[in-house]
Amino acid sequence: MARLFSLFAVAFLGLQLIQIDRASAASNRIVAVGDIHSDYKQALAVLQMAKIIDSKGDWIAGQDTFVQTGDNVDRGAGTIDVYKLLQKLRGQASAAGGVVINLLGNHEVMNLGGDLRYVTKEDTASFGGATARKAAWDMQTGWIGKFVYNSFNITHIQNGHTLFSHADMSVDWAEKGIDQMNYLSHKALKDKKFKEPIFTTYGPVWNRDLAKEEAGEDQTCEVIENIKQILGVKRMISGHTAQSSGKVLTLCGNSYIGIDVGITAYYGANRAALEIIENSDGTQTVSAIYPSGKVILS
């Protein structure tokens, strides 16, 4: 019913529901990367390490799927280059039979809504000043604003087995379903209502309860299991909560994996990506990729 409602509302209100949760490349390899925060140099390094791009920044991943879980902006000076890279890779991946999936982070929402508290002076200068930067983020006329509005969803399920969101999912939001969450986020953006519940503290762009195990280990694992059952997935992948260790966070038998490892120089210039290989027997092999090599998680 929620899906029928969202599709009807999209047609009635003229919204664009980005159906990336149905996207699937022919390859059995998925690579996910967390928060980049305007650090173009680090973005290139991590994507090269994960064999998504070559030394020139071009797509080499064939029919693979690349998921970026949001927060490409703020804290650094390379916003323009980062979003140009993501735009280019979407086109190159599509031409090769691959897929790039971009998710909204809280910092995308903040910049779309004019909340610029984490924008650096250097980043503003790279646009040619505050007026030009604001124009670039306009959802109707700006190149970044239009790109984010038209291409980013708030959550994604990959081939029925893995849930991706920028921040932590909750039971209440999971019960609404993927399509409804994506519809609500795009309606809020269209209406310029940046303080709607889906964009606030316990929504899937801000929530940190699972990563921080706020309810304790046992209760956190129970919540994660409930969300998995509601959405029919095997695992949940989130960014948002930076790990001081520089390593991915795994909880509850790898049912939850946090992939914000602090890629940006602001958080330590760490490098890591997550790889999921879909096996012929219906299982998945999940690994963390580091400069030192690959570590199998499950």
For 151-198, the pLDDT digits (tens) are 999 999 999 999 999 999 999 999 999 999 999 999 999 999 999 999
Residue of higher predicted confidence among 275 and 8: 275
pTM of the predicted structure, to 2 decimals = 0.92
DSSP 196: S
Confidence class for position 201, pLDDT limits 50, 70, 90? confident
Identify the pLDDT of residue 12.
45
Contact 53, 62 (CB under 8 A): no
What's the mean per-residue pLDDT of the chain? 93
Please say if the pLDDT value at position 21 is more than 90: no
Task: Please state whether beta strands 152-153 and 155-158 pair in parallel, antiparallel, or not at all (unpaired).
Answer: unpaired
> What does the alpha-carbon distance between residue 205 and residue 207 come to, in Å, rounded to a whole number?
6
pLDDT digits (tens, 9 = 90+) for 64-79: 999 999 999 999 999 9
Which helix (H) or strand (E) is 238 found in, with range? strand 235-238
Identify the pLDDT of residue 246.
97
Contact 43, 77 (CB under 8 A): no
Q: Which of 10-14, 91-95, 251-255 has the lowest mean pLDDT?
A: 10-14
Which helix (H) or strand (E) is 290 found in, with range? strand 284-290
